Chain A
Amino acid sequence: MANVISDETIEYVGILAKLELNDEEKENAKKDMESMLDYIDKLNELDTTGVEPMSHVFPVNNVFREDVVTNGDDRENILKNAPEEQNGMFNVPKTFD
């Protein structure tokens, strides 16, 4: 049950992952993913009919609090690590023409 990852799939995953791969990296990624998926397919040996997917081992509840502001204006700190900022805002490349 060897998995085959097509060029289209790797292209699509690259878009989802926001990664730009060169041709060599693409070939390697295909091989890596194929062998990982072959390995992960081992899980299909187990019958999990009726088993609920478990995302957390303990019950996780929403943590509610009163809608009261507790933090002050932290803009300076928030922007401290920004690669580019302008007028107290994050600077991003042009997104609309």
Chain B
Amino acid sequence: MSLLDYTATQLAEKIKNHEVSVLDAVNAVLEQIDSKEDTYNCYVTVDREGALKKAEEVQKKIDSGELTGPLAGVPVAIKDNMCTEGLLTTCSSKILGNFVPTYTSEAVINLEKAGAVIIGKTNMDEFAMGSTTETSAYGPTKNPRNPEHVPGGSSGGSAAAVAANECFYALGSDTGGSIRQPAGYCGVVGMKPTYSTVSRYGLIAYGSSLDQIGPLCKDVKDCATILETIASYDPKDSTSVKRDDTDFTSALVDDVKGMKIGIPRDYLGEGLDSEVKDAILKAADVLKSKGAIVEEFDLGLVEYAIPAYYTIAAAEASSNLERFDGIKYGYRTEEYTDLHNMYKKTRSEGFGPEVKRRIMLGSFVLSSGYYDAYYLKALRVKALIKKAFDDAFAKYDVILGPVAPTTAPKLGESLSDPIKMYLGDIYTISINLAGLPGICLPCGVDSKGLPIGLQLIGDCFKEKNIIQTAYAYEQARGDIIKEG
């Protein structure tokens, strides 16, 4: 077994017992990056020097007994939309191609306090707008299970880096499925916590009412451990909620007896690949055989989630991305005639096509005369969707379904038809609208050898139900995915 095969918590244990040094772990990851990165392109920036220096510092603190936590000394990759002081943060956009933040995002600070060693910043869809990591200004990331396929997105670089052993775990962000869907496509574990659980301070905003940071990692134990570490109440994020139940590792219990699990019939219908469907239902059977109560039900409103989401997300994006004006940071166009011309040229040259598409749509739905018909309508539909989930969670502890209708598509097949691409988000997007937590973990491979992701959704603040169910399933499932 290579050092790289350890999970994050296994590695931390080995480091604690002095069987492996932090430097060994960092060097192993850097070597793996050297040999794989040309093929996969998981990173925008690899901070070799910073990581080696940090390894020494962290090792000293572990040796002195100052750092004793379950992630101390473990190399991590950070999605390139989280600010890291002194380290280039591009959002995979040309407009932030030279942006070196002067502060660090709260979630990353929480990891650093726990002894994490940052290896680098991972590739993503530009400003997290996309489902394939192909809209990055720095080239697409390839799926390590099969490099002819996309890794998913927008946290595709983070998911691929975990799958390719180019880090031991990673942080991603999830606005409409951007952690869970790439986790599914790459065969790793990914989780979006309840909205407000992880501080968004220092996360470059896309859709502020939907964005959440979460882990991408190798197993459910790592997932709970990382989430426990990054969750915190933060007055700097005015939507942050004070919780006293973030001891997520207490839910790592191999027992689902009596757990009530509902499978929405609406998630199994038209558009769902039959191999994906079979794998999901097989996973449900595994949980049933372990004592869970599993039944199908009608969730409703599923087909309205995508149009509501894209209206709200585009509106928030058009407002959030106004800050990129060529004055305070980032790219500024070379030649211009006056202030407004400078704004327009800077933004038109700095943003890619998908970002422009969403800014235009967002500006339109917020404009006077259309605001009520589009934006407020979408917010009303959001209220109905939340109500549908409230009704479901009155009956069930966990909702089970696929994370995406298919396994990872081939590179180059998705961007030409935006609506078709957006339809791929059908099982992930409503969870963001309703603020719910969701986890994705592998439950099989299709005939092409590509991973299939199982999604478990919980009620707000009930992460422990889905962590416990995922953990119990993982114990029964065993290993299914080998390095491609």
Binding site for B on A (CB under 8 A): 9, 12-14, 16-21, 25, 29, 32-33, 35-37, 39-46, 48, 51-58, 60, 62-63, 65, 74, 77-78, 80-84, 90, 92-95
Identify the closest chain B residue to A53 (Cβ): B379
* C-alpha spacing A53/B384, complex, angstroms: 10
A37 surroundings in chain B (CB, below 8 A): 364, 374
| B327 contacts A92, C-beta separation under 8 Å | yes
| B348 contacts A20, C-beta separation under 8 Å | yes
Q: Please list the 6 inter-chain residue pairs (A to B) with the smallest Cβ-Cβ separation, ordered nearest first.
A: A53-B379, A81-B329, A57-B435, A83-B332, A48-B380, A54-B383
| A42 contacts B304, C-beta separation under 8 Å | yes
| Distance between A93 CB and nearest chain B CB, rounded to angstroms | 5
| A54 contacts B379, C-beta separation under 8 Å | yes
| Distance between A8 CB and nearest chain B CB, rounded to angstroms | 12
| B195 contacts A18, C-beta separation under 8 Å | no
| B380 contacts A63, C-beta separation under 8 Å | no
* C-alpha spacing A18/B382, complex, angstroms: 28
| B303 contacts A42, C-beta separation under 8 Å | yes
| Distance between A1 CB and nearest chain B CB, rounded to angstroms | 12
Binding site for A on B (CB under 8 A): 98-103, 195-196, 209, 235, 238-239, 241, 301, 303-304, 306-308, 310-311, 318, 322, 325-332, 336, 338-345, 347-348, 351, 356-357, 359-365, 367, 374, 376-384, 386, 418-419, 433-435, 460
| A90 contacts B327, C-beta separation under 8 Å | yes
| B380 contacts A81, C-beta separation under 8 Å | no
Q: Of the candidates B99, B336, B419, which one forms a contact with A35 in the assembled complex, judged by CB atoms under 8 Å apart?
A: B419
| A16 contacts B196, C-beta separation under 8 Å | no
| B378 contacts A57, C-beta separation under 8 Å | no
| B356 contacts A19, C-beta separation under 8 Å | yes
Identify the closest chain B residue to A32 (Cβ): B357
Q: Of the candidates B235, B348, B374, which one forms a contact with A19 in the assembled complex, judged by CB atoms under 8 Å apart?
A: B348
Given A19-B344, A46-B381, A83-B327, A29 and B338 touching (CB < 8 A)? no
Q: Of the candidates A17, A81, A94, which one forms a contact with B338 in the assembled complex, judged by CB atoms under 8 Å apart?
A: A94
| B195 contacts A42, C-beta separation under 8 Å | no
| Distance between B131 CB and nearest chain A CB, rounded to angstroms | 16
| B318 contacts A95, C-beta separation under 8 Å | no
* C-alpha spacing A35/B310, complex, angstroms: 13
* C-alpha spacing A78/B361, complex, angstroms: 31
B343 surroundings in chain A (CB, below 8 A): 18
* C-alpha spacing A92/B326, complex, angstroms: 9
B361 surroundings in chain A (CB, below 8 A): 32-33, 36
Q: Of the candidates B99, B238, B301, B357, which one forms a contact with A63 in the assembled complex, judged by CB atoms under 8 Å apart?
A: B238
| B360 contacts A19, C-beta separation under 8 Å | yes
B357 surroundings in chain A (CB, below 8 A): 29, 32
B326 surroundings in chain A (CB, below 8 A): 83
| A90 contacts B328, C-beta separation under 8 Å | yes
Given A19-B348, A29-B360, A95 and B339 touching (CB < 8 A)? yes
Identify the closest chain A residue to B383 (Cβ): A54
| A46 contacts B99, C-beta separation under 8 Å | no
* C-alpha spacing A18/B307, complex, angstroms: 24
| B318 contacts A17, C-beta separation under 8 Å | yes
| B364 contacts A83, C-beta separation under 8 Å | no
Identify the closest chain B residue to A38 (Cβ): B419
